[in-house]
Amino acid sequence: MVKFSTAGESHGQGLVIIVEGVPAGLPISEDYIGIHLGRRQKGYGRGGRMLIEQDRAKIISGVRHGHTLGSPIGMTVENKDWANWKEAMSVDPLEGPPQSPRTQRITRLRPGHADLPGAMKYGFEDVRNVLERASARETAARVAAGSIAIKLLEEFGVCIHSHVISIGSVHAQVPDTVDWAAVEESPVRCADPDAALKMAAEIDATKAAGDTVGGVCEIIAENLPIGLGSHVSWDKKIDALVCQALMSINAVKAVSIGPGWEIAEQRGSQVHDVILPVTDPDHPWRRNTNRLGGTEGGMTNGMPLVARFAIKPIPTMVTPLPSVDLDTGEEVLSHFERSDVCQAPPACVVGEAMLALVLADAFMEKFGGDSIPETKRNFQGYMATVGPRKIYR
Ligand SMILES: Cc1cc2nc3c(=O)[nH]c(=O)nc-3n(C[C@H](O)[C@H](O)[C@H](O)COP(=O)(O)O)c2cc1C
């Protein structure tokens, strides 16, 4: 089973990541992980923090001479900004009165952030104790973990892409064939150049108003084998696992497989993806459409797995919302701290990581193996059985 966990506060010393269950023999490097971390840092609408950080994961265990060992992979990502937060985020108790304004307690609650429920739940008197971990800085750790899952899936021909399909009320016209290289170059990760310009203008207008704006991201995994996940139990269904993983990304408020809500308005004949007669034994079970997003019965069906999520506007705003003070319960303006204006482009990269981690886990559950060659043998053995039953056994 591929599992991962993360630790680290936004302005602490750094992030810690452990990834378990990756078979031995997977080629992996800090440079490769760095490519994905760099992709997360890009995006029109990001705040000043991304100018400070140049994320780089240091692998400290589980890899030798460029290949995984089958043991837990440990990584750290340093926070460059830590230098400015040493007192405010000191592990040791402070000796004497605080010197830095950053150490001051935060009591002005931000609607839409974790401040209020977190402070109540953990009994804190300083909202910083909540916001440091609730911050999406943690998603850099997920991308480091996810890049190892992406690499594992790549060994089996699976590739993962993502793009922004709307920002605010600006919607992209997604072409039938997406130029993924162009999406990587798009400042808003959009496949429609005209919409991309309007999205950037929407972000500019939002920023000028001291406000924030959300969007919808689409994540796609291509070339998946049929049969990942299972129909037999609720907690093995791949669509449910994907939705849980994507919903766990900070600020995500809705997730769908395929277009989701839209299909509820249509008839069955407009929705279900007709299975075509098998003419190519190497590519059985093809469909002309993929309206259901590549899963049936909680399993991948051999079509690309397509998931979408809606991400809400960022809760920290230059023009603060009315709120209340944690100490007094009296009306104040909510706290502002350096923040993004729109996080949909980087959220796509986080979505890729989360999708890859779920798929890598399902992959290892289905094919097993302690080394990449063993997993490949198991994979190839299964794939040789996938086809019409009178031809393939
Ligand atoms: C990539 C990314 C960047 C984000 N950047 C910010 C930010 O700069 N400021 C902010 O207040 N929230 C930001 N968020 C959203 C908050 O982390 C999130 O709203 C908060 O943790 C509360 O969780 P919830 O929205 O899931 O309820 C970001 C989210 C993502 C995915």
pLDDT tens, residue by residue, 312-346: 999 999 999 999 999 999 999 998 888 899 999 99
Give the pLDDT mean for 86-112. 95
**250 C-alpha to center of ligand 1: Å?**
5
Residue 51 has pLDDT above 80, yes or no: no
Point out the ligand 1 atom lying closest to the alpha carbon of residue 253.
26
pLDDT of residue 47: 77
- Phi first, then psi: give them for residue 46, nearest 5 degrees: -85, 155
Instruction: Tell me the Ramachandran region of residue 312: left when phi exceeds 0, alpha when psi lies from -120 to 50, beta otherwise.
Output: beta
| Tokens found for residue 14 | 């750094």
Report the distance separating Cα 102 and Cα 94, nearest Å.
13
Helices (H), 174-248: 180-185, 193-208, 238-247
Closest CA to ligand 1's atom 27: 251
Closest CA to ligand 1's atom 11: 316
Closest CA to ligand 1's atom 24: 251
What separation in angstroms does the CA of 255 have from each of 48, 252, 303? 29, 8, 19
**314 C-alpha to center of ligand 1: Å?**
6
pLDDT of residue 281: 81
Residue 392 has pLDDT above 70, yes or no: no
Closest CA to ligand 1's atom 12: 314
Give the pLDDT mean for 79-94. 95
Segment among 17-31, 203-217, 218-232, 331-345 with least mean pLDDT:
331-345
| Tokens found for residue 290 | 């993929």
Segment among 40-54, 180-194, 257-271, 343-357 with least mean pLDDT:
40-54
Pocket lined around ligand 1, Cβ cut-off 6 Å? 47, 113-114, 134-136, 139, 249-251, 312, 314-316, 339-340, 343, 346-347, 350
Q: What residues contact residue 115 under an 8 Å CB cut-off, 6+ apart? A: 106, 109, 127, 130, 131, 134, 326, 335
Residue 393 has pLDDT above 60, yes or no: no
Residue range 3-91+102-383 in CATH 3.60.150.10: yes
Please write the tens of the pLDDT for every residue from 134-181: 999 999 999 999 999 999 999 999 999 999 999 999 999 999 999 999
Point out the ligand 1 atom lying closest to the alpha carbon of residue 250.
26
What residues form DSSP beta bridges with 161?
220
Domain assignments of the chain as residue spans, ordered by start: 3-91+102-383
Q: What residues contact residue 126 under an 8 Å CB cut-off, 6+ apart? A: 105, 106, 107
Closest CA to ligand 1's atom 9: 339
| Tokens found for residue 263 | 């299909």
Q: What residues contact residue 313 under an 8 Å CB cut-off, 6+ apart? A: 211, 212, 213, 214, 342
Point out the ligand 1 atom lying closest to the alpha carbon of residue 49.
8
Report the distance separating Cα 342 and Cα 204, nearest Å.
10
For 159, other C-beta atoms within 10 Å of its C-beta total: 14
